[in-house]
Chain A
Amino acid sequence: MTTLEDAWRWYNSTRRHLRLSHRLANRYWDVLPWSGQLELDDDFRHLDREQVKEEAEMSLSHLDDLAVVVLFSVFESVVRERIGNEVAAESALLRHRALKLAAAEAQDKIAEGSFFHVLQPFKDVHADLVEEVNQVRQYRNWVAHGKRGAPQARVTPKAAYDRLGRFLEVMQSGSP
């Protein structure tokens, strides 16, 4: 997955398939045509209704938090790459060695430094949006670090996708 759209499609497809499995087990298990091909299929004949239901529920219970991590990781990668390319293009025009060094250091920070600092330059024009993206980042960190303590604010994949997508649109429009 290399784009926010890829990650969003992955999340929705996974969620849909898990829900379908859950619904099959929960509602239609007894009316499935078990006699015939299904009962001869090694992948299906030992399936247990409660097990399928519980596994789907367990997977769904973690999917949203995992999706926020995935969405943010893709977003971070796209933002670093895009800003890095823009800065590289402008750095190529610099002539003074002090400015070249400063530009090289800036590029290193954009590629490897704290993502919080990468977002900061956008705050003067898009303070609210940057704040919301930071809330997604904080939630991602909370999930990625083992959910220790309590999160600052709850974030769903949809809320994350909306904010991160809006930020990418702002970047795309060139307004920063």
Chain B
Amino acid sequence: MTTLKDFLSQEADKWHAQAAQRDAKRKEWIESVRRLLGEMKKWLKEADTKGVLEIEEGTISLAEASLGHYDAPALRIRLGEREVRVEPRAFRALGPPAAGGLAEGMVQITDNARRYDLYRYTNKYGEQWFMIDEDEYSTKLFDQAQFEKVVVRLFQ
């Protein structure tokens, strides 16, 4: 029977062998989420000329086979008693076929009932986010116009 010491030693070898790559991926992913949320905050401030929105920054804890346990940035956007949350869900996610196969990042925008999924791909254009439209299941490049539509849809 394997002893705990032997078991942990084997697990440590596997874990440490991938540490550098895992840490780099995790850092890159968290930075990417931070950039996306930064864009969203900027778009919200541009639209909220009368200062009605309350934006709260926080973190969400995630666990993934490829990255381990980690905390990633998240947003809560409030309009009165209504709330929309923007939360990263996973680094590895099966995205829309139109955008590619396995995405390197998935973020959800939700009001707890309706949900919009964003998928991150890095390609020759650099980093791109694609959104699955919840109503018609179409895939769209995520930008300021899409974000504004989603926020209106969720708050209305």
A158 close to B137 (CB less than 8 A):
yes
Q: Is A109 an interface residue (CB 8 A)?
A: no
Q: What's the A-B contact tally at a CB cutoff of 8 Å?
A: 64
Known: A150-B64, A152-B65. A159 touches B95 (CB 8 A): yes
In the assembled complex, which residues on chain A have CB atoms less than 8 Å from the CB atom of B113? 18-19, 22-23, 26, 56-57, 60
Bound Cα distance from A22 to B113, whole angstroms: 7
- A73 CB to closest chain B CB (Å) equals 18
Binding stretch for chain A, among B26-34, B39-47, B96-104? B96-104
- B96 surroundings in chain A (CB, below 8 A): 158-159, 162
Q: Which of B68-93 contact A (CB under 8 A)?
A: 89-90, 92-93
Which residues does chain A contribute within 8 Å of B19, judged by CB atoms? Answer: none
Taking A57-B112, A57-B113 as contacts, is the C-beta distance between A151 and B64 under 8 angstroms? yes
Do A153 and B97 touch (CB < 8 A)? no
Known contacts A135-B102, A149-B65: does B94 contact A19 (CB below 8 Å)? Answer: no
Alpha-carbon distance between A50 and B28 when the two chains are bound, in angstroms:
40
Would you call A135 and B65 a contact (CB within 8 A)?
no
Secondary structure dominating the interface of A:
helix
Known A56-B113, A152-B65; judge A163-B97 contact (CB<8 A): yes
Known interface pairs A19-B113, A57-B112, A150-B65; 19 further A-B residue pairs with C-beta atoms within 8 A, sorted by A's residue number: A22-B113, A23-B113, A56-B113, A60-B112, A60-B113, A131-B101, A135-B94, A135-B102, A136-B94, A150-B64, A154-B89, A154-B90, A154-B93, A154-B106, A155-B93, A156-B132, A160-B94, A162-B97, A163-B94
User: What 1/0 flags go to A81-110 for Cβ under 8 Å of B?
Assistant: 000000000000000000000000000000
Q: Is A132 part of the contact surface with B, judged by Cβ < 8 Å?
A: yes
Complex Cα–Cα for A23 and B132 (A) = 21
Say if the beta carbon of A128 comes within 8 Å of chain B. yes
Asked if A45 is an interface residue, CB under 8 A from chain B, the answer is no
Interface size for chain A: under 10, 10 to 19, 20 to 34, or 35 or more residues? 20 to 34
A61 to B95, CA, bound (A): 19
Flag whether A9 is at the interface (Cβ < 8 A): no
Scoring B residues 95 to 138 as 1 if CB is less than 8 Å from chain A, else 0, what string do you get? 11100011000100000111001000000000000001000010
Complex formed: what's the CA distance from A60 to B66 in Å? 27
Are the C-beta atoms of B65 and A151 separated by less than 8 Å?
yes
* In the complex with contacts A22-B113, A150-B64, A166-B97 CB distance below 8 A: yes
Asked whether, in the complex, the Cβ of A159 is within 8 Å of the Cβ of B94, the reply is: yes
Q: With A and B bound together, what is the CA distance between A136 and B101 in angstroms?
A: 12
Who on chain A is nearest to B98 by CB?
A162
> Which chain A residue lies CB-closest to B92?
A153
**Closest beta carbon of chain B to A126's beta carbon, Å:** 13
Chain B residue at minimal CB-CB distance from A163? B94
* Known A128-B101, A135-B102: A153·B90 in contact at CB below 8 Å: yes
